[in-house]
Structure 1
Amino acid sequence: MLGLSVLAAATAIGTVLWQHQERQRSFATEETGGNPEAGHAALIRFGCGGCHRISGVAAARGRVGPSLAGLSGRTYLAGRLPNEPAQLIRWIREPRAVDPQTAMPDLGVEERDARDMAAYLYSLKPTSQ
């Protein structure tokens, strides 16, 4: 009987976590106009993991730039922009226009890819490591 109670509790917790992740993903997609799966691929294609740690991107172990884990839970982007989808998309597309002193290179990211990357980053759990 105790085993069934534990199993039921674990199932309920799993369901709640899944629902939260789905809400996070829905928010990310709606707010950015992007596609998280395409964003995952774009982060790899543009080599973002060479400088950043990115949850869910296996090769993203860079230490030059900050970790992007938990980005959705931050107050500011790049230490100066309010953490809003439009600002993240702008930062990804033209970091030097936002901050000429930044070490982040301008990679020529087009609007569609920037929206997709933002959708992926916002779809991650705010406290992921």
Structure 2
Amino acid sequence: MRRLLQILALELAGALAWPVAAWGGDSPPTGRTLGDAQRGALLIAQYQCGACHAIPGIASARGTEGPALAAYGLRSYIAGRVPNRPDLLARWIAQPSALVPLTTMPDMGVPEQDARDMAAWLSEQR
């Protein structure tokens, strides 16, 4: 039983560290806003996030397939599982299935900087 608990503790530690380490970069993310929020709003429209999500402040973003993104910056979790920090939100936008393998959110091929800018805008929504 003790060995099983040790294995579970190691797996949990690895699972919690992986999203940060997998993002890349030389230094660990700090949770601060990492992008240009104004550009992020334009990119959210460009990538047509509103096809699936209702997003106040984004013209024609009236989707109903995904959750509404109103006041997103006040949320505690991304997809109910990942802490809602701008760095992890950017990772989620770029590669959602890397953080939550069975998610229905598609990988849209969003480049890292675009994802950071989109995360910056979403994080500011209160």
TM range (shorter): 0.7 to 0.9
For normalisation by structure 2, the TM-score amounts to 0.72
For residue 98 of structure 1, report the CA deviation from its aligned partner.
1.3
Q: How far, CA to CA, are the matches of 1:91 and 1:99 in structure 2? A: 9
Residue 106 of structure 2 corresponds to: 105
Larger RCO, structures 1/2 (Cα 8 Å, 6+ apart): 1
- Per-residue CA deviations over 1:23-76 (Å, capped at 9, x if unaligned) read xxxxxxx92221111101110111100000111002100000001111111111
Unaligned stretches of 5+ residues in structure 2:
1-30
Q: How far, CA to CA, are the matches of 2:87 and 2:123 in structure 1? A: 12
Q: How far, CA to CA, are the matches of 2:124 and 2:101 in structure 1? A: 28
Q: Give the counterpart letter for 2:55 in structure 1.
A: I
Please say which structure displays the higher CA radius of gyration.
Answer: 1
For normalisation by structure 1, the TM-score amounts to 0.71
Residue 73 of structure 1 corresponds to: 74
Q: Give the counterpart letter for 1:51 in structure 2.
A: C
Aligned length: 96
Which 4+ runs in 1 deviate beyond 3 A?
A: none
- Note if contact 1:50-1:60 (Cα within 8 Å) is conserved in structure 2: yes
Structure with the larger helix share: 1
Q: Pairwise CA RMSD of aligned residues?
A: 1.3
Aligned-partner SS, 1:115: helix
